[in-house]
Amino acid sequence: MANRHTIILMQTSQNRASRTFMDYGSVSQAMDGICGLYERKLKELNPAIRNITYDIADLYNFIDGLTDLSALVYDHNIQAYLPYDREWIKQRTFQHLKKLAR
């Protein structure tokens, strides 16, 4: 999945105006982006704490707390974007963080 353009579609609340998207050059960069969103939210909620730690369950709770989250990943073979759901994103973020931990 390296170097496959990825678009993350998300809605943070019930308000339709909270719909947004982010695009990345690869699935890995997209998973970094999702982790970054969560980390920024943690810093926003805990401004006095310098080093914030979290585990995968915390990240999953953040992902599950979003009203909507999905990914579109470009497939060069069919020259189209393939859709992936929230569960796929959770699996990919876990694999990505595991890879970073090594």
CB-CB neighbours of 72 under 10 Å? 18
Is residue 102's pLDDT more than 90?
Answer: no
Domains, the chain, with CATH or none: 6-101 (3.30.2260.10)
- Express each pLDDT in 2-24 by its tens digit: 689 999 999 999 999 999 999 99
Question: Which strands, in side-by-side order, build the sheet including 68-75?
Answer: 19-24, 6-11, 68-75, 80-84
Q: What is the tally of helices (H) and strands (E) in the chain?
A: 3, 4
- Express each pLDDT in 38-54 by its tens digit: 999 999 999 898 888 89
Task: State what percent of residues in the chain have pLDDT above 90.
Answer: 84
- pLDDT given for residue 2 in this prediction: 67
What span, in angstroms and rounded, lies between the C-alpha atoms of 33 and 39?
A: 10
Single pTM value for the model: 0.88
